[in-house]
Structure 1
């Protein structure tokens, strides 16, 4: 028999943390949920009111599914008078209060990760390697915003040795309140690049927004920074009195990448950690994984873990969903290899994905095929940034490129004619075109910003093929 889930919150603890007025019987929760569709028995359900949906409309369903109680700011319809409820002034504020209370009671060593790209992958590498060295909690998926961070905190078990939280933003001022809740011992920035340029005048402004992560850093904490980044000095200065540890190819980096070899399924890393030479394997293809793995080793050291054991554990790393997952898909006459990078995209991550595709090995006579959707939130420079991808396509000798969206039309027209696979105004219109054009043995990489919905192409290839 599997052990019973540990108690996360009692009714008294949750009421004290949120200032709630409790009703109904006492309870003990083993989880926290904000989605009635995925409530597990034993969850505390928090009824958040958003612009399109109000969780209060689903309290009855959550309780019927097995939630032990609901946190609400108005009495919901369809629930018994004696239903176990916690009534607060505002459920979003109460979720944040619950997150703060969880952080306050925790003895975990805590890391917070931000950056223009690579946040989720770095967080997942940390989840893997720290998990081998002690009980570890980490935010799931990309729960990195104003509700995802406090929810991840509220779900943190009482007795964990390590905790890792991802912090995201696309406007100035968004990281500071998140890191104030997390209060990390280690704050890492993966990189600063031209992402979300629609909301910033320059990458320097992005760097200053990312540097808000240091405002909540624990006294005596450590900042882990990308030494090769052009904004390194700004970030190091913003870290203030924190101990600064650096990663990159720079000769002065504390974790220095000497070389890496990329094959279709993995990345072999040669590095220096201080004066110690290291070689290790990461179970995902891509130079960006090698670089971010160096940040992982520095974070592990700063948290009190064993960086050498962590490096060895990275061989077991697999790509998070939509971030380089590979699968074989049957097509007429054989199969293709599908690389799913559909979760999101920016100019720097798009170039990294194209380079990773170049390392793939199609069957004899087959092709490397890129299927690309619009990169969004780039502001007025968007068209030029899309056109500029043609250089990477040419450099890495990608055989065929299919594009979707008005911005990707600029890339389509910039490509050499023999590389143009086809263009459509949407991912939905592009999908059947790609399915028809594929040949057995092709390796196909699909990528685009979340708003370009390139996951539809992935689904069509997986089902239609």
Structure 2
């Protein structure tokens, strides 16, 4: 970002004491006082545990050129510009929208219940082959993360790829208004955040509010394979363009052609009038819709066949999202970032395909925010796990009995163990006699299944050097 103080005043509608420092250029926005630097704007974000207003003086001491706050501040150096607004989070969004209008880059907005970050990364990888491209840092996709990501984009960037995440009614509309996308894609919906959104139809209805914020002439893309999503999309945007990986009558289609090596797969794409095969660092049929969403969005913005093939082939997947590592006889799959029933089913299926006859071990954590669906969804998780051919299943969290009942319904005869710590997991694993294979680690973010992965990794490395 590069805007003057007066630009910020106009964009946010702020009032107050702007100090005696003229009209300095603001080159970055920070919400953490420890990251403040010369030429930055420090935005005071109020919170239940920490209130950014209490750290404004520290930010200014580190070089922040101005402060955005919702109240007068004491203890700042004389002459410090303080921009006052009613709501600093809302003002942050207004500032991001103003920067987006100034730069004029084409923006792709991505949402869905499972794989949003993967779609974002793949889309950005393709568009980066055509020119400078900005994207969210990791999954900075909420009412604070989205504007911060947009404000980090450079003036020379031709395209921005922004992931939008919601978990409750009323969250998508303000996010979508900030992004004002040229292309918006929703590649799936599933039973995620049901505690707040009720059911899959509720998820679809909230997500499809994204389409109402399209810029004039913009394109909405949605998967025809999810009836609730397609119905909600048509209600908001009758001209929505269909995606399908199940052979539906859609101009954009994809099919998984199989694995060619561990961690790499072949896919067929039909992108309106273009047909092509691509190789990606992803294996498993469920990744077809992620790859299709990315390729379709990029194609609409002018990506060529070469851009698409090269971008998908060289894309680097972030850690904690089906990230595979080899350690001797072990293949460890890190899918620990988060989990809901849709992403859990897909991860288990992909892990089973990766195993290809080798022992499969599932180390799973509770799926949270399921509301009154929690028991039934964890029972279904047990059924899916039983059908994977896993030799052993370790489970951490609530609803373990429901998982066990699901396993029993499908006749699971392997090892099922409930563990409450990484140490307990290692101790139980040691008694199974499993000395290798494919291990999938997955659960909701708050379950910290990465600690279980780290414990096994350290144990393998220790044994290798003993």
Report if TM-score (shorter chain) is over 0.5.
yes
Mapped to 2, the partners of 1:225 and 1:388 lie a distance apart of 26
Q: What corresponds to 1:160 in structure 2?
A: 157
Q: What corresponds to 1:349 in structure 2?
A: 343
Shift, 1:42, TM fit: 4.3
Q: Is the CA contact 1:298–1:307 (under 8 Å) kept in the aligned structure 2? A: no
Q: Which runs of 5+ in 1 are unaligned?
A: 1-6
Calculate the aligned-residue CA RMSD, in Å: 2.6
Mapped to 1, the partners of 2:11 and 2:169 lie a distance apart of 29
Q: How does 1:56-455 map to 2 (within 5 A)?
A: 56-76=53-73, 78-262=75-259, 263-329=261-327, 336-361=330-355, 367-415=359-407, 418-424=413-419, 426-427=420-421, 430-433=424-427, 436=430, 439-455=434-450
Select between 436-445 and 188-197 the one with higher mean Cα deviation.
Answer: 436-445
Mapped to 1, the partners of 2:455 and 2:34 lie a distance apart of 25
SS in 1 for 2:286: helix
- Deviations for 1:290-311, whole angstroms, at most 9, x for unmatched residues? 2211111111122233255223
Q: What corresponds to 1:3 in structure 2?
A: none
Q: What corresponds to 2:456 in structure 1?
A: 461
Mapped to 2, the partners of 1:113 and 1:14 lie a distance apart of 27
Shift, 1:428, TM fit: 5.4
Q: What corresponds to 1:4 in structure 2?
A: none
- Deviations for 1:322-369, whole angstroms, at most 9, x for unmatched residues? 11122345xxxx56332111111111111111112112348x9x6321
SS in 2 for 1:287: coil
Q: Is the CA contact 2:223–2:230 (under 8 Å) kept in the aligned structure 1? A: no
Q: Which runs of 5+ in 2 are unaligned?
A: 461-466
1:14 equivalent among 4, 8, 14: 8
SS in 1 for 2:354: coil
Distance 1:409 1:317, change over 3 A: farther
Shift, 1:189, TM fit: 0.6
TM-score by length of 1: 0.89
Q: Is the CA contact 2:393–2:415 (under 8 Å) kept in the aligned structure 1? A: yes
- Deviations for 1:150-207, whole angstroms, at most 9, x for unmatched residues? 2223333223211122112122221111111211111111111111222233322221
TM-score by length of 2: 0.88
Q: Is the CA contact 1:220–1:242 (under 8 Å) kept in the aligned structure 2? A: no
Q: Is the CA contact 2:128–2:311 (under 8 Å) kept in the aligned structure 1? A: no
Distance 1:436 1:32, change over 3 A: farther
Q: Is the CA contact 1:95–1:154 (under 8 Å) kept in the aligned structure 2? A: no
Q: Is the CA contact 1:435–1:464 (under 8 Å) kept in the aligned structure 2? A: no
Q: Does 1:51 align with 2:45?
A: no
SS in 2 for 1:231: helix
Mapped to 2, the partners of 1:140 and 1:356 lie a distance apart of 26
Q: Is the CA contact 1:99–1:150 (under 8 Å) kept in the aligned structure 2? A: yes
Distance 1:248 1:232, change over 3 A: farther
- Deviations for 1:46-79, whole angstroms, at most 9, x for unmatched residues? 1111121111222233334444433223354553
SS in 1 for 2:190: coil
Q: Is the CA contact 1:183–1:218 (under 8 Å) kept in the aligned structure 2? A: yes
Distance 1:234 1:461, change over 3 A: same
Q: Is the CA contact 2:256–2:285 (under 8 Å) kept in the aligned structure 1? A: no
Mapped to 2, the partners of 1:285 and 1:155 lie a distance apart of 32
Q: Is the CA contact 1:36–1:62 (under 8 Å) kept in the aligned structure 2? A: yes
Distance 1:62 1:288, change over 3 A: farther
